[in-house]
Amino acid sequence: MAQLKQKVFIANIEELPEQLGRTVQIGDLELAVFKLSNGRIKAIENRCPHRGGVLAEGLVSGDSVFCPMHDWEINVTDGQVQGHDTGCVNTFKVEVENGQAYVLLPE
């Protein structure tokens, strides 16, 4: 059986600056939302798996965000930490409709 999803508005696409993160709070869940240079919107958990750095404040390059605390590189598509470091963050599917981005959350 397909898992039900909750679809929650996160941003108007044109209001998101390219390659900068934005923190979006949905209940207890805090997301880091990014618009990449290719225009894709990504949403990941907003806490670095290392020591909880706020990923929305990190630098974005290509498909990665660099944690502002100790510069770990995290892929914003699969949530995996890159290079010699290990760990991952949760990622969330994003849908775009009529210039608006929504995140799909498990019910």
- Chain positions contacting ligand FES, by CB under 6 A: 48, 50-53, 67, 69-70, 72
Alpha-carbon distance of 96 to 82, in angstroms, equals 27
Cβ closer to ligand FES: 63 or 73?
Answer: 73
- CB 43 to ligand FES: min, Å: 18
Cβ closer to ligand FES: 71 or 97?
Answer: 71
Residues paired with 32 in a beta bridge:
23, 44
CB atoms within 10 A of CB 39: 10
Strand 73-75 to 91-97 pairing:
unpaired
Cβ closer to ligand FES: 11 or 32?
Answer: 32
